[in-house]
Amino acid sequence: MPKTISLLSDYDAAKGAAKAVILSDGLVVYPTDTLYGLGCSALSKKAVGKIYLAKKREGRKPLSIIAADYAMLLEYCEVSPAQERILHSLLPGPYTFILPLRKKLPVSPTLSIGVRVPEHMFMRQIAAELKLPIVSTSANISGEEEAAEAEGLDAAVLKAADLVIDGGRCQYAKGSTVIDLIKMKVLRMGAVRKGDRFELG
């Protein structure tokens, strides 16, 4: 079993350990505002390959990324003025936005990518300090039950991980809402922050 560190009782140790694992091409299970995620450096082909194996996920299905902030999102994605207005109205938040890539990444065999800037600060801070995007995919075998708290994590995923960050129960306890900003439509309704509206017209 991987080492588990409580974010609630030892934030600095959790941050240091997560950064070290990511820099060594390892896998981290971490809390977000929606569900627990399984992540690594989105720039490492080796680490990304480990995630596909751990999740038993088809290689042609892209993985999403967490960007530290809007500036990092712009570094990797093309954004039109219309897309920018939507992003500024909803980020950070419990949403995954499909956007065109500026450059090819190991996480996507296509020219588009799902990007998150979650409300939960932890992985955004890791991404900011390491100056790289982090893979954002639910910490479960593809098609199996997702986890909103560390106690519900799948044993097979835990076996593949190098570190677990326990942040307690996730705020929304459901998957992110996926919004395709290329086709301007909602692909999956999931978590929605109170008061948010999707004006995609």
- Give 36-69 as a DSSP string: -EEE-BTT-HHHHHHHHHHHT--TTS--EEE-SS
Given a contact cutoff of 8 angstroms between Cβ atoms, the answer to whether 75 and 161 are in contact is: no
Residue 158 has, within 13 A of its CA and on its CB side, a CA count of 15
What tens digit of pLDDT does each residue of 123-166 get?
A: 999 999 999 999 999 999 988 899 999 999 999 999 999 999 99
48 class by beta-carbon count within 10 Å (0-12 exposed, 13-18 middle, 19+ buried): buried
Tokens of 184: 């301007």
What pTM was computed for the model? Answer: 0.95
pLDDT score of 198 more than 90: no
What tens digit of pLDDT does each residue of 35-67 get?
A: 999 999 999 999 999 999 999 888 778 999 999
Q: Following CA atoms 47, 14, 131, 133 in sequence, which dihedral angle do they give, to the nearest 10 degrees?
A: 50
